[in-house]
Structure formats: C-alpha cells, structure tokens
Amino acid sequence: MILAGTIEERVSVAVDAWLRWVPSWTPGTHRGRARLCRRCTGSPLLAAAGLTADVPHQVMHALVSRMQRIIERRVDEFTASELPALHAELTGEQLWSAGGYDPAEGLAPEYEGLDPDPEPDEGEQPFLFTLAGLAEESRPAPPLPRPPLSPEEKQRLRHEIELADRCAAEAGREVCFALMEHRTRIESAIHRFVEPQIRAMLDELSRNLEPPQ
Ligand SMILES: [Zn+2]
C-alpha cells in the first residue's frame, strides 16, 4: 500500500490534476441551469484559492470537489483508525446500500455534488427515466433491523461524531492553508485558459445584439 501523503502533498497533487483539466474546459460543456451550489457557495476554499465570483461555476466546482475529496478522505482515515463505534456504524450503512446503483458514484470531480437530474428546461424533452429513479429501483431490500443501540452506545457514537466533525474542520483549515500556496498557479491558469473563452463568448454575444446595419 502506498503511504498516505500529508494534506499539503495531496492538495498539490489535486491542484496539478485540476490544472491539467482546466485547458479542456469550454463554456459549452456547462450543462443545466445555474442554481445555487451548496458545495461552492460561500466556500472558504474558493477564497483560499483566490477564485472570485466571475470565474465560471464549473471551473470553481472542479477545484472545490477535488479539495472536498481530500477532506473526506482525511475524515475517513481518522474514523477507520480512531473512531470504532462510528466506523462500525458507517460500515453497516455501506453494507446496506452496497449493490445498488448510486448515480453519484464514480463521477468526475467536476460533476460531483451537482444534481444528477436537473429539471428539464422549458421546451426541452424530459428524460425518459431519471438516474435517481434507476437508483431507487436497483436498491436492494434492507436487511432485518438491528437491535437498538444502548444509551451508552448512543452516547459514544455522539461523542465520536463530534470528534469526526472536529477532524473535518481541522482538515478543511489545513486544505485552505495549503491551497493558498498554489494561488499563483491557479490564477495564471484562469488568465490563460478561461478568460479568453469568456471574452470570446461576450464578444459573440454583443455582435449578435448589434442591430443589423
Ligand atoms: Zn459548485
């Protein structure tokens, strides 16, 4: 097994991956309506990366999701090694849902955390079946209910959830600090690959808006 890197190393690798992805971004790849994204809105990760509101959402989202994965992985590792009650609880839940089709599983980070089935825009054909519907159909029947937790077990679980939350907050801060080191690289990628495309799009738009001579 490869030794797990520090948060700094992981952020550096994830920023590299994002920088390799950015040149392939085009405004046309943006699908669905712009709705408020719960993952990106007000995220301190964006401020740490130096990304401002005028950067297209998908470009920001691709970076935020990659950082989010680092935080989640850190919490998973901490849970597996330090929080036995919570770990058992989560492993049980995974067994429960295993085998079903999860539309959010295996998505590229640019699409992670977005609604897999956006409401069809007016005039567009609705999807014949939805991914969420498919997931519902393929979900296996839940096993027999487990015996309820004792008050001590509940107490312990609550305590471990608190520790996991603290771990997530700490990992989030570390990721933000690490991300700040990459601001220059991030900003220059935006200047080089994203801004010219936005400018071209706006030029095109204003050309179309001009009244015919
Ligand atoms: Zn987002």
Distance 82 CA to ligand 1 centre (A): 31
Other C-beta atoms closer than 10 Å to the C-beta of 95 total 10
**Number of structural domains in the chain:** 1
Q: 63 CA distance to ligand 1 centroid (A)?
A: 9
What is the 166 CA–ligand 1 centroid distance (Å)? Answer: 23
Q: Which amino acid is at 100?
A: G
> Alpha-carbon distance 128 to 79, whole Å?
40
- Cα(141) to centroid of ligand 1, in Å? 33
Distance CA 14, CA 22 (A): 12
Which tokens hold the place of 37? 């994204």
- In single-letter form, the type of residue at position 121 comes to D
Let me know if residue 1 belongs to a domain.
no
CA of 36 from ligand 1 middle (Å) equals 8
Token pair in block for residue 79: 């849970």
Distance 147 CA to ligand 1 centre (A): 39
Q: Does 125 fall in a domain?
A: no
Distance 72 CA to ligand 1 centre (A): 16
Evaluate whether residue 19 is within a structural domain. Answer: yes
**Residue type (1 letter), 99:** G
In a domain, 62, yes or no: yes
- Gap from CA of 50 to ligand 1 centroid (Å): 15
- The alpha carbon of 47 and the centre of ligand 1 are apart by a number of angstroms equal to 14
Q: Is residue 94 part of a domain?
A: yes
How far apart (Å, rounded) are the C-alpha atoms in residues 205 and 202? 5
pLDDT tens for the chain, 213 residues long, are 344 579 999 999 999 999 999 999 988 755 555 568 989 999 999 999 999 888 999 999 999 999 999 999 999 999 999 999 999 988 877 665 655 556 566 677 777 777 655 555 544 454 555 666 656 666 666 666 777 889 999 999 999 999 999 999 999 999 999 999 999 999 999 999 999 998 888 888 888 887 766
Q: Comparing C-alpha atoms, which of 23, 18, 26, 20 is closest to residue 197?
A: 26
Closest CA to 45 of 168, 171, 175, 169: 175
Q: How far is the CA of 109 from the centre of ligand 1 (A)?
A: 10
Compute the distance between CA of residue 112 and CA of residue 64 in angstroms, rounded to an integer.
10
Output the six-digit token pair for 130.
């939805």
Ligand 1 mean position, distance from CA 11 (Å): 18
From ligand 1's centre to the CA of 44, what distance in Å? 13
Residue 135 lies in a domain: no
Residue 199 lies in a domain: yes
**Residue 59 located in a structural domain:** yes
Tell me the CA–centroid distance for residue 111 and ligand 1, in Å.
Answer: 9
For residue 95, give both structure tokens: 């067994």
Q: What is the pLDDT of residue 135?
A: 65
Domain membership of residue 58 as a residue range: 7-25+40-117+148-207
